[in-house]
Structure 1
Amino acid sequence: MPVADGNASPRISVVVPVYKVQGYLRACLDSILSQSYGDFEVVAVDDFSPDACGRILDEYAAADSRVIPVHFTENKGIGKARDAGALRARGTYILFLDSDDTLAEGALQAIADRLGETGDPDILLLNHVRTFWNDRVQESAAGEMLAAAGTDVFTALERPDYLTMFAVVWNRVYRREFYVDDHRFTFTDGIYEDALMVYKTMLTAERIAATDHICVEYRQRRQGNSMRTPGRKHFGIFQQYTRLFEFLDERPHLEPVRALLFERMASHFLFTLAREDRIVPKDRAEFFKLSAAQYKRYKPRGFVLPEGNQGTRFQILERGSYTAYSAMTFATHTRRQVVQRATKAKTKLGKTAYNRLYRLHLRRPVDEKLAVYAAYWNRGVACNPAAVYHKAKELAPDVHGVWIVRRTEVDSVPEGVDYVVANSPRYWEVMARAKYLVNNVNFPNDIVKRPEQVFLQTHHGTPLKQMGIDQQKFPAAAKGMSFGKMLERADKWDLSVTSNQHSTEIWERVYPCAFEAVECGYPRNDVYFRSTAEDVARIRGELGIEEGKTALLYCPTVRDYQKGYVPRIDLERFCRELGPNYVVLVRTHYFYGADPNLAALQERGLIKDVSRYPVVEDLCLAADALITDYSSIMFDYACLDRPIVSYADDWEVYSRARGVYFDILSGKPGETPGATATSEDELIEVFRSGDWNSTRATALRAAFRERFVQYDDGHAAERAVRRLFLGERPSPEVLPLDERTPAPAPTPFSTARIVRQRTGENETGLVGA
C-alpha cells in the first residue's frame, strides 16, 4: 500500500477540527490511522478545547508522524479550524472529518481508487451511514444516486439532483488546488456554515464525481451536538442563505438551479423550526416571521410548490401566518407530547413512589442545606461518597448529610451518622428535598431528580471492563439490561468524578449525557496518601497479621458468564507452596454471599477471609502486595506503589464475554501493572522466583501509575467538596506524581527466590533476605 513520505506531499489530507470531544477523539484518529491506504496525513486542529483533546493530539503526533497537530490559543469555531487545517494541508485532496465521527474501513482506498478512475475531479462525493448510541446504523438517502453516477464526471448544472445530497462538507473530498489555490474558499462564522460551503463549491466545480462506498460513519450523538442545542445561534441560518443567494445573483448562469436551492432553503427553515432541540418555544414566532420574509424575498418566478403537506407548509410560509402554521404542524404533535410526558412522569415515579406522600414532598422547596448519600445500592457508608461526606462535614458544615441504607445494613452505620432506611417515609422526603445527591451508582428509576438538585456521580472504579453503552456488544454483560433506562438514569448526573484521563474519556463516551467531568481523583483514595506507618501497623494488628509476614491481598472480580463464586486458585496449595512467611487475605466480590470453603480454610488457619471486612482501603493498606484479575481495585492499589500481580487464567473467555479496554497481560507499559500469570503454576512461580517484585515489575508499575494514578494525591475529597458544595473551582492543584508520598509499606521486600528443599518440602523463609 502507498504510505506517505515525510518529505513528499501525500495524496490525501484529512483535516480534523477538534473541540470538546475527548471521549470520541481517539476513535476518530484510530479510524484514520488504521486505514489500509497509507498515503495520507492528518491535520488536527485543536480549537482551544478546554478538555484533554490537545494532549491527546500531541500524544498521537508523538507516536505517528502522519498526525500534525495545530493548536489555537483561543476558540475560533469549527469553520476557522477547518480553514486553518486546509491551509496547513499538503495533500492533493482534502477530506474534512468531524472529530466525533469515524472513517469506515477501506474508506481512503476507495476514495483514492475512484479519484484515479475519474481523472482527479474537483470534488468527489462520498457515501456515509449514521450510527447511533444503541448500535443502530442507518444508510444515507443518497446511496442509490451515488451508485448511479458510476465513474461519470459532471457539473452541478448538468446533474442538479446531486445538490440535494446532505449538505455537509465531510461527505465529499476537495482537490486542494481547486479549493485553496484557485478559489480560496473559507468558512463563514456561525453554524449552518456547511450548507453555504457545499452549495458554493458544488456550483463552482467543473468536474464532480461520486462513489457509493461508505466512507464516513456519522455519529448521531445523543447529547453534546452543537446543532442539537437550542438557542438564538440557530437564527444564523438566515444569514447563511442570504449569502448563498447573493452568490447566485452574481452568477446569472446558475439561474437553472435557483428554484431547487430555494426549495432546499425553505425546507431547511421548516425543518429547523420544527425541532425543539433547536428553536425554543418563545422564539418560534420570530423564527417563522424571518423565514417568511426570506421566502418572499428569494422566491423565484414560476416556482412550483412541492406536493403534499410540504407544499401546504410552503403556502402558509408565504402567507406569513404563524397561527395557521401552528394549527397545522403542532396540534397533533402537542397532543402526542402530552400523552408521552404524562406516561413518562408516571413511570418515573413508579408504583411505590407514585403516592401522595412523595408528590407532597416534591411540591415543597428544595432544602439548600441537605445532602443525601448512598453507596453500592445502599449497602452502607462506604467508598467515594463516604470520603466526600466526611470532608463535607469539615468544609461545608452547614450542609446536613443523610445516608440511604438497606434495613439489613442499619447496624453497620457508624455512630453519629444520620441515616434513613430505603423506602421508608423519611426516605421519600429527603430524596424529594435534598439539594445535593451523592452516589457511586445510580439512584432507582422511580426517583425524580428536580431541576434544583445537583447529583455528584462518584463511580466506584476505573474501567478496565467495558461499561455503559459499550456493553451492548457483549451479551454476558448486557443480559437483562435496558440501555435506554440506563441512560435515563445517567441523564440525572450533573457532575462525574474521575481519577484519570482514561476514565474521563470513557465515561464521556459510554454515558452520552450532559454531565461535567470533575477530574479531582477518587476521594476514597485519599487515605493512601494520608495514612502513616502507625496506621498500617494498627490495621495489620486488627487483622491478626503477624509481624514480619508478607500479606498478599487476593481480590478476584465477578464473572458475568458464571453464576456464583467459582474459585480460580487452589488456595490450600498456594499457601502451602509459598510457605508460612506469607499470609493470604481473600476478598471475594460483594455480589457473592459467604463461601463455606473459604470459611473452612480460614478455620484451618490457611487464609484470612476478609470478604465481609467493611473497609477495603484498610485491607489495601495492610497488604504488601495485591493479586487480582480484572478488578478495578488494581487502580486504587497502585496509589500505594506496592507490587501488583495480575492473575488472569480465563483472559480469553473474560475479554470476549465482557469486553475490555486494554490488555493487562500485554506487558506494555501503561497496560500491565506488574508481574502476570495465567495458570496456578505460573502464579506460584511468580512468587517463588521473586518476579512479583522484580525490577521489570517495578518499571511496569511505574508506567501504570503514571497513566492511572493521575489525580489521586490525598486531596481528591477536598476538590470534590469545593466543586459540589461550595461552587468553586476544584482545588488544590494536583501534586505531581513524584511529589506524592504514599503510606509506607508494611515490611521490607525481598526479590530473592523461595527455593524448594531437596526433600521436596518448602523452605519456611526467604533465602538471602
Structure 2
Amino acid sequence: MPRFSVIVPARGVQGYLRACLDSVLEQDRQDGDLLELIAVDDCSADATGAIIDEYARRDPRPAALHLRRPSGAGPSRNAGAALARGDYLLFLDGDDTLAPGALAAVDARLRACGDPDVLLWDHERTDVWERRRPSGDGDLLRAAGDAVFDVARQPAVLGVEPAAWNRAVRRDHWTGRGLAFADGPYEDIPYAYESLLTARRVAVLDRVCVTWRERRRGSAATTPGPHHLVAVERYEELFDRLDGLLTEAGDGEGEERAAGEEDGRLPLLTVLHARMTERLLAVLDDPDRILPADRAAFFRAASRCIRRHRPAGVPLPAGLRSYRAYRSLHGARDLRRELAKELRDRGGAAARTAGRRYYGLRRHASLDPDLVLYGADGNRAVSGNPYAVHRKAQEIAPQLRGVWAVHEDARDAVPAGADHVTVGSRRYWELLARATYLVTDGDFPGAARRPGQLFLQTHRGTPLAATGLDTHRLPAAGPGPGRVLEHADRWDFCLTANQYAGEIWERAHPSGYETLASGFPRNDRFATASAADVRAVRAALGVRPGATAVLYAPARHDLPGDAAPLLDVVRLAAALGPRFQLLVRARPHDPWPPALVKAGTVLDVSGHPHIEDLCLAADALLSDFSPVLFDYANLDRPIVVHTAGWDAFRFTRGAYVDLLSGEPGDTPGVLARDEAAVAGAFHSGRWDGPPAASLRAAFRERFCRYDDGLAAERVVRRVLLGEDDLLPQLPPGERRTAPSPRAAERVLAQECGATRTLTGPGAVVG
C-alpha cells in the first residue's frame, strides 16, 4: 500500500501540468511504495488530458482519471480521493509544484509524530515572473512547536491558509469524518477547517513543501464576477455547522477541557472569525474579483456574515457599519490610485500624436461587424498565417472585408488589388478602432483592448527559442515582462500547430485567451498543393530542371548579441557541385555573392513573401535554429541542421528542444557543423537515408500533429464566423502531403505519356 496518494485535479493547465507532475514523480523515494499519483482530467478542452495519459503510459505510479463532465476542482479532488489507496491524502493543484524532498520530509515528520490525523506545512507563492515570496504562515507553524495537539489546544493554527495543498490528511480520518470538498468556488474552505476541527491529533512541519502559483487569468479566483459571493456562503455554512464540529474537536482521547464549554470555544471562534473577516475583506478590496457593480452586494453579504458570527467582546472592524462608511474609509486610498492613473494618462497624452487622440475618440463609435484588420511580419508583409486566414475568409465568408495594415516603407509588399492602410495614418486609427476582428502574427502599433473586438494571435511559427516571460532572465532578452503581458492581455484567441507549442504559449504568455488546437493556416498549403503546384513554384523561382534544390533558411535573429554563424555560401556551393542548387533565404542585411546568383548556382529568394512556397520548391531544407524546421517537417522531406553556434544560441536565447540530442522527436534529421559536413551529408546519401527518415518521422509526429490542411477553415469558422466547435482533426490515414519535386516530375511524365498514347497513331479521337 502506498504511503501517500497525491491527487492532482487538472483543467486548463497544459502550460504548467508537466512541471507539477514531474515535481511529484521526482520526489525522493524511501522505498518502492512511497506514493501513488492520481491525476484527474476535469474534461479539459486543452491538452491537459493528453499530458496525463502520456505520463500514465510511461510510469506505473500515475493513474489517469477522466471525468465524463466538467465538475470543478472540488468534485475532481473528491473523485480522485475515492480511488486513493495511500495512508495519507495530499492534494496539489495542476499549476503548483511540490518542493524537492518534500514527501521524504513529510514522511519523516509523520512517523516522528506517530501518524497524526493531519500534518500542516508551509508554502511559498510565485507569480508570472517566477518571483517567490513567503506565505506568511511560517510564524504560526513555528509557534505550534513540535508537539502533537488538537486545535482546542492550539487554536492559532486555524489562521493558516485554508487551502487543499498545505496539509496531509490521514485517509482513515478523511473517510471516518466524511470530509469532502464543496462543489463550486472556494471549495477548499470547508475541507480546510473541518479537517482540523474534527482531528484529534494535529502536527506541523516548519518547511516549505509547496510552491503555489498565482495565476493572472484563467481561474475562478482571477475572474471577476458575482460568483465570489460564494465565499460568504462558505463561511456561513461553516459557522452554522460549528457546534457539531467543535463537539467533535472536544472529543479528545482523555484530554482535559478548560472549564466552561463556551470559554473553551471562544479562542477557536475568535481565530475563525478573524480569519474569515480578513479573507472576505481581501476579496472585497480585490478589483480582479469584485467588479464595481458587485461591490455593494458583496459588502452587504460579507458585513451581515461578519456581524452575525462575531464572538462576544470582539470589536467590529472599522468601516463595516455601513457601505457609506466603508467607501469613506477606503476613499482616500482609491483617490490616490485614481490620481496616479490620471497623472500617467496625462503624461501619455502629452506624447500622443493627433492620430492616437483620434483613435481614442473613434473607439467610442460602433464596431463594423464585417471588418477584419490584418497584419503580418511586423506589419511589413502580406504573408504567413494571417494571409492564409484572409484567403480562406474570402472563400467561405465573402461578406467580411479584409484590410492589411502595413508600414509606409513596406507598401510595395502589398499584392495588387489588396486593400491596405498605412500604419499611423488617420484611416489606420479609424480601422483599428472600428474593426471587429484583428488578425496578426505580432501586434498592431498603438492598439488597446476594446470590448466587442476579437483579437486573433496567429504567431509566426512553433517556438524553439525562449519566448514571452521565459526570456526575461536570458542575455538576449526580448520585450520586458510588462510589455509581454500587455500584449497577451489583448488576445482572445491564440493558434498552435502542436501540443508542445500550446503548453509554451500559455505558460510564457499567461492571460485569459483561448488556445485553438487548429494547426497553422499557412501550413495548409503543404497538404493541399498538387504536383502541378510544386512544378509551377519551382519554375517561377528559376529552379533548374532536374536539380536538387536545397533551401538554406537560417534563423532571422534580430536581438542584440544573438548572431549565429552563417554558412559560407561560396564554399558550400562549390562543395555541393552542379547537381545541387541553393535557394538562399537571407536574414536582414546579409550579403550574398552576386556572381553565384548570376550563374544560377544560388537563387536569392530572400524577397519572396511566402516561406511555404519556398518549402514546396525544395528537395531538402538546410537551416540552423529557425522555426521553419517545424513547418518543413510537414512535407516529410529531408532536413539538415547546421549546428555551429548551438551553445551560444542556447545561452543567449534559450531552447525548448535539444535539436542536437539525436533523440527521436528532438532531432529532425542529419546534423552538420560546417560546409564540408553539409556537402558530405548530401554526397554520401545520409541526408535521405533510413536513419534520417526515422528521425524525421518522429519529429513530424511531435510537431505537426494539428496540421492537416484544414487549419485556415477551422480558424475562420471559429473566430470570424463564431461557430462553437473546431472542425475535427483528420485521422492520419486520411491526410495527404504535397508531392516532392521528384514525385511531381514523375506525375508530369505519366501525364505526358498518357497524352502521347491518346494522340498517337491509331488513337480514337472525339
Contact 2:280 2:302 survives alignment (8 Å): yes
**Residue 658 (structure 1) aligned to one of 653, 659, 663:** 653
Equivalent of 1:203 in 197, 202, 214: 197
Q: Secondary structure at the match of 2:207?
A: strand
CA distance in 2, matches of 1:204, 1:336: 44
Asked if the contact 2:142–2:206 (Cα under 8 Å) also holds between the matched residues in 1, the reply is: yes
Give structure 1 regions of 4+ aligned residues with deviation exceeding 6 angstroms. Answer: none
Residue type of the partner of 1:529?
A
Distance 1:748 1:283 in 2: 65
CA distance in 1, matches of 2:403, 2:58: 49
Cα drift, residue 37 of structure 1: 3.0
Q: Distance in 1 between matches of 2:733 and 2:703?
A: 14
Question: Following superposition of structure 1 onto structure 2, how do residues 487-636 of structure 1 map, counting pairs within 5 Å?
Answer: 487-559=485-557, 567-589=565-587, 592-593=588-589, 595-603=590-598, 605-636=600-631
The residue aligned with 1:28 is 20
Amino acid at match of 2:353: T
Counting only pairs closer than 5 Å after superposition, residues 74-473 of structure 1 correspond to structure 2 as: 74-149=69-144, 151-180=146-175, 182-250=176-244, 251-252=246-247, 253=250, 255-256=265-266, 257-303=268-314, 305=315, 312-313=317-318, 316-317=319-320, 319=321, 321-337=322-338, 339-340=340-341, 343-344=344-345, 347=348, 351-352=352-353, 355-444=356-445, 446-473=446-473
Q: Aligned ranges for residues 671-690 of structure 1 at < 5 Å?
A: 671-690=666-685
Query: Are residues 1:69 and 2:64 paired?
Result: yes
Task: Report the counterpart of residue 757 of structure 2 in structure 1.
Answer: none
Normalising to structure 2: TM-score of the pair? 0.90
- Is this contact kept in 1: 2:3–2:35, CA < 8 A? yes
1:732–1:169 Cα change, 3 Å: closer
Q: Tell me how far apart the structure 1 counterparts of residues 162 and 530 of structure 2 sit (CA, whole Å).
A: 63
What amino acid sits opposite 2:425 in the alignment? Answer: S
Kept after mapping to 2: 8 A contact 1:710/1:737: no
Match of 1:12?
Answer: 4
Cα deviation per residue 1:140-170 (whole Å; 9 max; x = unaligned)? 2122443455533222222222111111120
CA shift in 2, pair 1:60/1:347, >3 Å: farther
Distance 2:187 2:675 in 1: 61
- Provide the C-alpha distance between the structure 1 equivalents of 2:505 and 2:51, rounded to a whole number of angstroms: 16
The 1:31/1:290 distance shift into structure 2, 3 A limit, reads: same
Tell me the CA shift for residue 727 of structure 1. 0.9
The one-letter code of the counterpart of 2:567 is I
Q: Which amino acid aligns with 2:312?
A: R
| 731, 739, 757: which one aligns with 1:736 | 731
| Corresponding residue of 1:3 | none
Matched residue type, 1:48: C
Cα gap change, 1:92/1:553 in structure 2, threshold over 3 Å: closer, same or farther? same
Shift of 1:668: 2.2
- Structure 1 427/354 Cα, relative in aligned 2: closer, same or farther at 3 Å? closer
1:268-300 per-position Cα deviation (integer Å, ceiling 9, x unaligned):
222222222222223322222222322332222
**Distance in 2 separating the partners of 1:243 and 1:567:** 66
Instruction: Give the Å deviation of 1:729.
Output: 3.6
Identity among equivalent pairs (%): 45
Deviations 1:466-507 (A, max 9, x none): 1111112212133xx221022112211111122112222211
Are the aligned partners of 1:102 and 1:216 in contact in 2 as well (CA < 8 Å)?
Answer: yes
CA distance in 2, matches of 1:743, 1:420: 35
Q: How far apart in 1 are the matches of 2:57 and 2:701?
A: 17
Cα 1:396–1:616 change in 2 (3 A) is: same
Cα distance in 2, alignment partners of residues 68 and 347 from structure 1: 54
The question of whether the paired residues in 2 share the 8 Å contact of 1:718 and 1:731 is answered with no
Structure 1 counterpart SS, 2:212: strand
Q: In structure 2, the residue corresponding to 1:22 is in which secondary structure?
A: coil
1:475 maps to a residue whose letter is P
Q: Does 1:693 align with 2:688?
A: yes
8 Å CA contact 1:585, 1:609 repeated in 2 = yes
1:476–1:560 contact (8 Å) kept in structure 2: no
Measured in 2, the distance between the counterparts of 1:345 and 1:720 equals: 39
Structure 1: distance between partners of 2:557 and 2:237? 60
Q: CA deviation at 1:237?
A: 2.1
- Paired AA for residue 241 in structure 2: F
- Could you tell me how far apart the structure 1 residues matched to 2:699 and 2:354 are? 45
Give the 3 Å change call, closer, same or farther, for CA 546–601 of structure 1 in structure 2: closer
Q: Which amino acid aligns with 1:236?
A: V
Q: In 1, Cα distance between the equivalents of 2:692 and 2:371?
A: 47
* 2:182 alignment partner AA: T
Which range is displaced more, 214-223 or 102-111?
102-111
- Partner SS, residue 647 of structure 2: helix
1:381 and 1:560, CA in 2 relative to 1: closer, same or farther beyond 3 A?
closer
Shift, 1:356, TM fit: 4.5
**Amino acid in the other structure paired with 1:265:** M
Alpha-carbon distance change, 387 to 217 in structure 1, aligned in 2, over 3 angstroms: same
Tell me if the contact between 1:248 and 1:255 (Cα under 8 Å) persists in the aligned partners. Answer: no
| Equivalent residues of 1:550, 1:747 under 8 A apart | no
2:742 is aligned with what amino acid? T
**1:473 is paired with a residue of what secondary structure?**
coil
Shift of 1:384: 0.9
Q: How far apart, CA to CA, are the structure 2 residues paired with 1:435 and 1:33?
A: 46
Q: Which residue of 1 aligns with 2:709?
A: 714
Code of the aligned partner of 1:583: Q
CA shift in 2, pair 1:360/1:48, >3 Å? closer
Report the Cα distance in structure 1 between the residues aligned to 2:350 and 2:608, rounded to whole angstroms: 35
SS of the residue 2:352 aligns to: helix
Q: Distance in 1 between matches of 2:329 and 2:29?
A: 52
Q: Secondary structure at the match of 2:353?
A: helix
Shift of residue 199 of structure 1?
1.4
TM-score normalised by L of structure 1: 0.90
Give the distance between the partners of 1:387 and 1:348, measured in 2 at CA: 37
Secondary structure of 1:437's counterpart equals strand
Task: State the aligned residue count.
Answer: 724
Question: Would the aligned equivalents of 2:565 and 2:645 in 1 still touch at CA under 8 Å?
Answer: no
Supply the distance in 2 between the matched residues of 1:675 and 1:327 (Cα, whole angstroms). 70
> Does structure 2 retain, via aligned residues, the 8 Å contact 1:117–1:151?
no
